[in-house]
Structure 1
Amino acid sequence: MERSDNRHAIVTVAICFLIAVIEGLDIQAAGIAAAGIREHFGLDSSQLGVFFSAGILGLLPGALVGGRVADRIGRKQVLIWSTAVFAVFTLCTVWVNSFNSLLAVRFLAGAGLGAAMPILITLASEAVSPQNRGRAVGLMYCGMPVGAAILSLIASTDFGSNWKNIFYLGGLLPIIVIPVMMWLLPESKEYLKAKDQAANTTAEATPQGSFKDLFNSNNLLRTMFIWVSYFFTLMVVYIMLSWLPSLFQELGFSRKEGATAQFYFMVSATIGTVILGMLTDRWKKAYVILLMYGGILAGLLALNAAGSLTQMYLASALVGAFVIGCQGVLYAFGGIVYPTEVRGTGIGVASAVGRVGAMLGPAIAGSLLTAGFGAAGVISAAIPCIVISAIFMLLLVRRIQN
């Protein structure tokens, strides 16, 4: 039985890791393809910020719907369909011929990806025992920076120099993974158990996750605290993901040096996500939060203060390790905070709230750059967001412990 459970957990986390790799490819695709898209469509910095935000905006309704439907009909089925939607509209990105149609297909691709993310977190959380959830989500979510780092390397080749090739790759990979999910991905045992319990105790055949359950006496404050933290943390995450290469160029470095900085950012992010996920299970939760938000602040301050290229690379690595690792820890907290019957809904809605911040972040950064505030202004604007997120996560930990 234990051997079967271990195999179930390994297969589930491994397939979720593959989908997270594809998410990382897509997130990085926008930043890497930005120069080619700007030239092809004749965009300014503000319009480029809207392009970055269009895909992120699509994540919002996707996260809202995907998590709730997964609580009702099962995790596996919704994950397969959402991945298919993402694949189709990512491929459509290379065939559009206007700025508006470009925004539309990026929005729809984002909707598919947005629906997938809360299900990945839920599946990874439910595949292991409660005391190992941080580690499982960390291992799963480190696929995101791995995918982004891979695409950074591809971008330095002749294949990656054509922005359309990047979206061909991003659309074809999930099509290859879908049959693997259909064949190998097991349904969540916790979901199936909750479904059986619901069938035995009520006339309903499935556990009914409801939005109103997020606001009952037990969940209200937890929901509010995690929403604020998701919102401001993801705002900073997506500013860094979307604009880091461009910020390097604003600071006087070359495009190649900016791409190299992004690679270091993602490699360290992979390590940071795994380590912070493991610490979430082993340390007191408050210590993990102080470490990760303190690390983000140190990285942002280092980016503002660095003078040489080496210092900028080190600062990029420091920010990457903690800012992406922090996102993984927040996702793990979603699995810890909510019970099985509402876990997909809770993570999905929190992800949607976070995506609002993620959508606003790149657009605000683009507006600050257009207004002449420069890279230092963008980085400084991110610091209060991190302080607010840290405070509300500490309040959440106190609430969980009570």
Structure 2
Amino acid sequence: MNLRHYLATARMSRAQWIIVAVCALLSALDGYDVLAMSFTSNAVSTELALSGTDLGLVLGAAGIGAGIGSLVFGPIGDRIGRRPALLASLALSTLGVALTVLSHDLTGLISWRLVTGIGVGGSLAAATVLASEFASERRHGLVLSLFTAGFPIGGALGGLAAAPIIQTFGWQGVFALGIALNLVVLALVAVFLPESLAFLAERRGASARIERELERLIQRLGVSEPVVVEAAPRQHGQFGAFAGLFSPRYLATTLAVWLTFFLLQAAYQFASSWTPKLLVKTGLTPEQGIFAVIAISIGGIAGALSYGALTSKWPARSVFAVLTALASLALAAFILTTSIVPLAFTAALLVGFFLNAAIAGVYTTAPTAYGPSLRSTGVGVALGVGKIGGIASPVLVGALLDGGATPLALYLGTAVFLIVAIAGILKIEPYREDVAATAPATEPVTERQLV
């Protein structure tokens, strides 16, 4: 039996769930690292006397870095392996968080948030592929929902910890805690995450190291019967993986995935980064601003986890599109109810629920839109394009705010962008492997053959 087919159809093993859990934990860490600056934005801007444009650049720096990281580390993962790319990017984000603690001016903050973002973008690109690859077809939606839920879980826990930490240790304490969390997750990734099966299969026979890793992976997964380890056909030609994204087979899919990632990430980064500051402008306290982001994160956890259940009952693209439309309505309701705090917090929960459920949709959809040999590049580049949206929204909002834009106009404008995202969602088609690519190989792989 083909090992890829076996993993897709068999019941998920304990080892597969451990891989998923570590990827979800990594996503939670990325949520903490990215949103840490949002939680500390009022304290940082007060201490350093930052203008709206300055703060927008600081909030957007991690997004710029994440775009660079996913664009760079995605293809690197296809070339040297997802696991080493993930470890390198995670080490880089740890360095960025550590040096943020030592920053005392605008230039330092922007520089080290940029480095943090590069690491976050690279780790998310690799972890998205690994979580998707080791999920069975039956549990695929649930697995990617759990992975996506990690980000708002990290944000919610970070928000809960931020207020007391800032009061006791200053805003630097939030990033000091981030250093410790990064080191713990780096150790867990090194111990528990294996190399990508698609990567190993594609390079089988290239070296003794690849053969040993493939044997260990089969043993770890608990596969007892003889299996075929066969690489999927490459989906790109002589100009490389990036050019393959624009081949006739993938062009429409690539543009649709990019548009969807861009607009959803722009909306999410706006809501999560600027809400504490904008709510203060509407008359709420800084603490209420932080709690609004916590509400968005808590709603996001429920939304991300709900996506898999919703797609088990209704067509995935239809669910994805409806959730995006509801996220648009929730954003409008949120800003229109800030004068009634309980209603505003309820709307914040709904913003988080629908936005993160929609983001779970794009994280679930993107890996399945590309063939295995293009998957890391496709997801990595899409994440990079999405991060451009994450860059643009905080920076643009800062400039618009300095130019006199009101919180009401900013939230309603973002709601309109989400409606546009639906056009991209409806154009994303799943990858279908050629029949020839799934034909059984003539010789099964056993442990004896791998030695």
Aligned-residue offset at 1:64:
0.7
Alignment pair present for 1:250 and 2:257: no
Maintained 8 Å contact 2:12/2:136: no
Match of 1:166 among 174, 182, 191: 174
Aligned length: 397
Match of 1:380 among 382, 406, 412: 412
CA distance in 2 between counterparts of 1:145 and 1:280 reads 20
Query: TM-score, normalised on structure 1?
Result: 0.92
Query: TM-score, normalised on structure 2?
Result: 0.83
For residues 182-201 of structure 1, the aligned pairs below 5 Å read 182-196=190-204
Amino acid at match of 1:373: A
Alignment pair present for 1:23 and 2:30: yes
Amino acid at match of 1:90: V
CA distance in 2 between counterparts of 1:197 and 1:154 reads 49
CA distance in 1 between counterparts of 2:167 and 2:86 reads 28
Corresponding residue number in structure 2 for 1:136 = 143
Match of 2:242 among 208, 211, 221: 211
Amino acid at match of 1:344: S
Corresponding residue number in structure 2 for 1:283 = 314
Aligned-residue offset at 1:158:
4.3
More displaced, 311-320 or 274-283? 274-283
Alignment pair present for 1:348 and 2:380: yes
Corresponding residue number in structure 1 for 2:213 = none
Aligned-residue offset at 1:70:
1.0
Aligned-residue offset at 1:197:
8.5
Match of 1:324 among 356, 367, 387: 356
Alignment pair present for 1:56 and 2:63: yes
For residues 90-101 of structure 1, the aligned pairs below 5 Å read 90-101=97-108
Maintained 8 Å contact 1:280/1:329: no
Label 1:257 to 1:128 Cα distance change in 2 as closer, same or farther (>3 A): same
CA distance in 1 between counterparts of 2:321 and 2:21 reads 29
CA distance in 2 between counterparts of 1:107 and 1:311 reads 36
CA offset digits 1:116-151 (Å, max 9, x no partner): 111111000001123432221110121111111111
CA offset digits 1:154-204 (Å, max 9, x no partner): 1231456511011111122111222222222122223322333899999xx
Amino acid at match of 1:174: N
CA offset digits 1:87-109 (Å, max 9, x no partner): 01111001123211221111111
For residues 223-372 of structure 1, the aligned pairs below 5 Å read 223-280=254-311, 282-306=313-337, 307-372=339-404
CA distance in 1 between counterparts of 2:107 and 2:24 reads 32
SS in structure 2 opposite 1:252?
A: coil
Corresponding residue number in structure 2 for 1:76 = 83
Maintained 8 Å contact 1:124/1:136: yes
CA offset digits 1:235-259 (Å, max 9, x no partner): 1110001011122212211111112
Q: Which has the larger radius of gyration?
A: 2
CA distance in 2 between counterparts of 1:73 and 1:386 reads 36
Aligned-residue offset at 1:275:
0.7
Aligned-residue offset at 1:379:
0.4
CA distance in 1 between counterparts of 2:202 and 2:374 reads 11
CA offset digits 1:15-50 (Å, max 9, x no partner): 111111111111221111112221232211110001
More displaced, 65-74 or 150-159? 150-159
Q: Which runs of 4+ in 1 moved over 4 A?
A: 1-5, 158-161, 197-202, 397-400
Maintained 8 Å contact 1:25/1:144: yes
Corresponding residue number in structure 2 for 1:39 = 46
The answer for unaligned runs of 5 or more in structure 2 is 1-5, 208-228, 433-451
SS in structure 2 opposite 1:231?
A: helix
The answer for unaligned runs of 5 or more in structure 1 is none
Match of 1:393 among 425, 433, 436: 425
Label 1:192 to 1:7 Cα distance change in 2 as closer, same or farther (>3 A): farther
CA offset digits 1:295-349 (Å, max 9, x no partner): 2022012113214111100110110001122122111111110111110100000
Q: Please provide the CA RMSD for this pair.
A: 2.4
